[in-house]
Structure 1
């Protein structure tokens, strides 16, 4: 499977709706479309996201949701009725080929209990901070993932509302193939030695 093409979804905020709310609504519709179609070949990225690693910086999803997949998979996704409801408040750009020479990055969900030590190691490596500082930013417990951007969404299967924390991995020169969840996030399985797939990053 080659993620050769992409679609940019750009929320158009109105006075009564913030960009963050529009991003959540947009993501929710994408989740429904992927869940009902059982599509595992489409991933997402948030090119303008911010992690709350800097002092006083609030995590943010940004204002752009990018879908990655083959041209055929993306074309079929656009035909889904769930996406038709987005046109009133989201500018959906056409299907475009991925630029040449692009880099790659994994985009996945972070679980509170399993992700803290990994987040500390990544912060030390990426931001050149001490172990003590990493522990302060990512303490053991539920508040650690507050440094990551998240979506408050409703599950299409359980109908429960929850916070979905999203982590962008390190930038890589070569892609990693794999499957994506109904949230468009990479699926990894450490027990089976299956790495998290990547999406083009540009």
Structure 2
């Protein structure tokens, strides 16, 4: 693994299996707190270098199965960022449901590949057609014929989130893709990429 990732420290969070509570419910609670913590890190400290990955992530392109798994890895350039993030504080109400390991250095003997993790957002077909019709100065029907040939929305695993602004629920869809090279940069307040960039984190 090259040093160009700049992400050399991490901690791992594992959801503790519970026959009475579905993992997706815990994911919602966990990531709601994590999202708020990252937003505070950005606003108070200007830190946007913390990224995540899902070690057990799986997506079948045929749409037959997908899962996030039960683990979340949180990466940072140094231990300082993770100490500042202080996940133990943010997740203290979830101690019966998640296990947080201490901060460690990325194992360079095992972390020999990379992934980019994206917040997947898909524009509805009708919105795509309206945008394309305006851009190309063609009719809506003509634009619809074009966009209908594009790739359909991917049936990705997601985390159910609730907006702090309008209190409405939305799916945080996760697309995790393998990458051949490391790429450094800034992450969103979800610890992910948007759809147009591909900053990587180590993977093993």
TM-score (norm 2): 0.73
Structure-2 separation of matches of 1:12 and 1:79: 16
Indicate the structure (1 or 2) with the bigger Cα radius of gyration: 2
Alignment of 1:1-202 (within 5 A): 2-38=6-42, 39-54=47-62, 57-69=64-76, 70-78=78-86, 81-101=89-109, 102=111, 103-113=113-123, 138-139=151-152, 144-146=153-155, 148-172=156-180, 174-187=181-194, 195-202=197-204
Q: 1:131-182, CA deviations, whole angstroms, 9 ceiling, x for partnerless residues?
A: xxxx99x52xxxx222x1111111334433101111112332x311111111
Q: Which blocks of at least 5 consecutive residues in structure 2 are unaligned? A: 125-147
Cα displacement string for residues 41-88 of structure 1 (whole angstroms, at most 9, x for unaligned residues): 111111101113257x32111111111112111111126742222322
* Bigger proportion of residues as strand: 2
Instruction: State how far apart, in whole Å, the 2-side matches of 1:110 and 1:3 are.
Output: 23
Assess if the C-alpha contact under 8 Å between 2:114 and 2:200 holds in 1.
Answer: yes
Q: Does the CA contact (< 8 Å) of 2:58 and 2:67 recur in 1?
A: yes
Higher relative contact order (CA 8 A, sep 6+): 2
SS across alignment from 2:160: strand
* Partners of 2:163 and 2:6 in 1: CA distance: 28
The number of residue pairs the alignment matches comes to 170
